[in-house]
Structure 1
Amino acid sequence: MSDSEANKAIVRRYFEMFNSGDLSQLADIVSEDYGDKLEGQTSGIEVVRSYLQGLKASFPDFTWTIEQIIAEGDRVAVMNRVSGTQVHDFGDIKATGNRVDFAAFQFYRIADGKLAEHWEVADFAKFQEQLTAKPAATAFKSFQNALKD
């Protein structure tokens, strides 16, 4: 198996682990000093463990579905769908029972056979809109609407 294929397999294993809700293999997949570059996140495996447990607690059926995966060198890029139903509070958002479904793009760096760093761009505006059932008045939507006039 090539390095690129092995790196993609690590990311697939991470997604499968999260989807199953069984984080017992997290230390086999994620480095101790895992650097999650999401807004507000700090580094470390226990930070990511807490984050993943929190997501599954709020959205027990949360799944990450890989739509495309590309690897080169020590980097793996993933385009995926994120979906689930909010049955418990998520931060300060009370449980809504709403289903969410949105696109996300992750970029991982692999080191020594484990996930070492993670960057993500996701449609968090759509996620928020689906939870609150209020259309988000984003700058981009306003711009699109102005073009139609």
Structure 2
Amino acid sequence: MPATDDLITRYFEAFNAGDSAAMLDLLAEDVVHYPNQGEPRRGKALFAEFCAHMDRCYSEQLTDIVVFTNGDRAAAEFTVNGTYKADDDGLPAATGQTYTLPAASFFNVEDGKISRVTTYYNLQDWIAQVAPGAA
């Protein structure tokens, strides 16, 4: 069973490699994903759908990642460096805009797998960066 900090580090390495399959391998079958916006998703299948949607609309790399762990819980603070590739419902039109914003994720770990992922960032900051006329 991998240590919590190693598990979370591998999760972010897989994210930055664009390897959704490797991310899914680190999740519990009944993982609960609490996104910044919207309803929670339960299970790996819905998490995989979310990853596919994100890959279609965004290209992102996370930098300045700092992971904090305490037993079976973890938190990570990082900077999202991204490109908005394709329109996402209810958001400004995508024209290849770039953005940088601080974000954080919180995790629970059970039996060596991630059982909860919660992510937070400032959506209004993101919109201001990608809206038409944004500098």
Instruction: Name the TM-score, length of structure 1 as normaliser.
Output: 0.78
Matches within 5 A, 1:1-149: 6-38=3-35, 39-60=38-59, 62-93=60-91, 94-133=93-132
**TM-align CA RMSD:** 2.0
Contact 1:87 1:97 in 2 (8 A): yes
Higher relative contact order (CA 8 A, sep 6+): 2
Q: Which 4+ runs in 1 deviate beyond 4 A?
A: none
Among all aligned residue pairs of Structure 1 and Structure 2, give the percentage whose two residues are the same amino acid: 24
| Bigger Rg, structure 1 or 2 | 1
Q: Distance in 2 between matches of 1:108 and 1:41?
A: 14
CA offsets 1:78-134 (integer angstroms, 9 cap, x no match): 001111111222224432211011111111001111110122221221111112146
Task: Check conservation: 1:110, 1:117, Cα contact below 8 A.
Answer: yes
Q: Which moved more, 1:23-32 or 1:71-80?
A: 23-32
Tell me if the contact between 1:68 and 1:78 (Cα under 8 Å) persists in the aligned partners: yes
Instruction: Give 5+ residue unaligned stretches, structure 1.
Output: 136-149
Q: Report how many residues are paired.
A: 131
TM-score (norm 2): 0.85
Q: Give ranges in structure 2 of 5+ residues lacking alignment.
A: none
Q: Distance in 2 between matches of 1:76 and 1:86?
A: 28
